[in-house]
Amino acid sequence: MITNKSSKLLHRFRMIGIAEGISFLVLLLIAMPLKYFFNFPEAVKVVGWAHGALFVAFIYFAFEVMGSLKKNFFWFCKAFAAAFIPLGTFIFDRELKKEEALLVS
């Protein structure tokens, strides 16, 4: 049963990572140009708030996964860095997808 619980936790972490990555791209590619080129700062306010909440959730779940799956601190540093690099969470998701497949089987 521990494996099932861990795989669900890892799956939730993956989904939050994908949502965080999408919100980061929307912030960089849509909201920021709207603010600076079209004088529409509300876009950054709304998208930035959503991205911030998803970032905090991503880091929280990274701690949870690190403890549950007995990951080392280097793994957490990779997760943290992935949140700051555009497309980083999508690249990190490939590693997580392989781990989830191992837990399920």
Tell me phi and psi for residue 59, to 5 degrees: -65, -40
pLDDT tens per residue across span 28-48: 999 999 999 999 999 999 999
Q: Which pLDDT score is estimated for 27? A: 96
Q: Which pLDDT score is estimated for 91? A: 96
List Cβ<8 Å contacts ≥24 apart for 49-56.
50/23, 51/20, 51/23, 51/24, 51/26, 51/27, 54/16, 54/19, 54/20, 54/23, 55/20, 55/83
pLDDT tens per residue across span 1-22: 457 888 899 999 999 999 999 9
For the chain, the structural domain boundaries read 2-104
pLDDT tens per residue across span 51-84: 999 999 999 999 999 999 999 999 999 999 999 9
pTM of the entire structure? 0.91
71: left (phi over 0), alpha (psi -120 to 50) or beta: beta
